[in-house]
Amino acid sequence: MTDWTKAQEGGCRCGALRFRLDGAPMLTSACHCTGCQKMSGSAFSLTLTVPAQAFELLQGEPVIGGLHGPVAHHYHCDHCKSWVFTRAEGMDWFVNIRTTMLDTPDDQPPFLEAWASEKLPWVETRATRSYPGDPDWNDWEVLTQEYAGTVGSAAST
């Protein structure tokens, strides 16, 4: 189990882009949408949703790749092209970090899975919550509180 009381560092594949997280994620998730499948080259993408103030870019200048639209901005390393994090327009209070970009990735299954309607039929994530699309924003507070309870109980065992 990741010790979220300690700062966690991570970066892209080549190491040109480095970041630090100073605090626990609000949620962890797997996204099964076909866009994430194509961007990750895998069955899903893994995400740590962290408060923006807990995220610090230490080294490098990310570039926007993937979605270039007005809603989401996918940030990549300009050298190795690794997809490192995502920011959503108008929702500056959080950053979505690709879980596997941590130097020591979280060893727990994602708390929730989104876009399960596009999930490949053989995929199992052991997520606690599953949604056919994105979770309803009205559920955000309940989901983050429930996730915080799982992090706290796992840390005390």
pLDDT of residue 152: 56
Angstrom distance (rounded) from CA 121 to CA 138? 28
| CB distance 50 to 25 below 8 Å | yes
d(CA 82, CA 70): 21
Say if CB 8 and CB 104 are below 8 A apart.
yes
pLDDT along the chain (157 residues), means of 10: 87 97 94 93 94 96 84 91 91 93 92 97 96 92 90 49
Contact between 49 and 27 under an 8 Å Cβ cutoff? The reply is yes
Pairing of β 63-65 and β 129-130: unpaired
- The whole-angstrom separation of Cα 85 and Cα 49 is 10
Measured in degrees and rounded to the nearest 5, phi and psi for residue 13 equal -60, -40
Q: Which two tokens stand for residue 52?
A: 């923006």
Its pTM stands at 0.88
Which pLDDT does position 156 carry in this prediction?
A: 39
